[in-house]
Amino acid sequence: MDHARQQSLPGASVRGAAGELPRRDAGHGAVHRSGRAPTAPRAYAAPLARPPRRLARREGSAGDERGLPRRFGRPRFLGKRPRHVLRLRYLRAVFPEAQFVHLVRDGRAVAASMLRRRRGARGEQAWWGLKPPGWRRVQERPPVVQCGWTWKRCCQIARDDAEATGLVPEQYHRVRYETLTARPAPTLNGLIEALGLSSPETFQRALRPHLSALENRNDRWPARLSATQQEALLNEIGEALEREGYGAG
């Protein structure tokens, strides 16, 4: 989810006219561009510099948002960071008028993709990606189950925190990966309109090559997972698949 919690990429950052919010490495800590104070207000930067976890409303102040427009010279900024799915309560407290976009994808495809990333990183047995509350309790389970559990837990946290913080539909936008890849231009333009943003022709021209390159890769997970892995994964996330609108069959 982003501007919120949600599936994730090291090195992503939030940019504004005056600079860059804290940039993260592939691990946990924030790395500021110099020894100087970060460009973001301290109340925003400091909690996000800690290891990824479920940040609470009490760690932020609604008044802190006033510092960002002055620093960046823009009325808005975009934070694209999957781990924000674990920070919705905190972000809501700091930015009460923020809008959140939650990109949701079939959990089986997500788990297969995460497992592949693990193999290319530190090995299939090493934890990779988000660490939702309770992640240590599943460390001894099969890697594919760990990946499925992470997807399931993040989806549930996003739903729970959106409800707990009183997010109205106008602030919380769920976009399905399958819809985005099938109808990229209409889906994105609809989202831009819902967010109250402008979409000039220059922006549309720059966007077209990226939209044309989008493809639905959900059909790859059956070939990437063995029958045993598929069964274990379905046992773990079957109910969550149904809840998120994906058939478990």
Residue-wise pLDDT tens digits, 64-89: 555 666 666 777 778 888 889 999 99
Using a 10 angstrom Cβ sphere, with 0-12 exposed, 13-18 middle and 19 or more buried, the burial of residue 183 is middle
Structure tokens at 4: 């919120």
Q: Residue 166 pLDDT > 70, yes or no?
A: yes
Could you tell me what percent of the chain has a pLDDT over 70? 70
Q: How does residue 188 score in pLDDT terms, banded at 50, 70 and 90?
A: very high
Q: Answer yes or no: are the C-beta atoms of 23 and 13 closer than 8 Å.
A: yes
Q: How does residue 55 score in pLDDT terms, banded at 50, 70 and 90?
A: low
Query: 6-10, 171-175, 182-186, 239-243 — which is least confidently predicted?
Result: 6-10
Q: Residue 219 pLDDT > 80, yes or no?
A: yes
Q: How does residue 63 score in pLDDT terms, banded at 50, 70 and 90?
A: low
**47 closest CA partner among 106, 114, 93:** 93
Q: Residue 117 pLDDT > 70, yes or no?
A: yes
d(CA 36, CA 24): 16
- List Cα–Cα distances, 35 to 7, 22, 32, 223, in angstroms: 30, 12, 7, 48
Q: Residue 3 pLDDT > 50, yes or no?
A: no
- The pLDDT assigned to 72 comes to 67
* Mean pLDDT within 50-61: 50
Q: Residue 104 pLDDT > 90, yes or no?
A: yes
Output the pTM of the full model: 0.72
SS3 104: strand
Map out the domains of the chain with their CATH numbers: 1-98 (no CATH), 100-249 (3.40.50.300)
Q: How does residue 245 score in pLDDT terms, banded at 50, 70 and 90?
A: very high
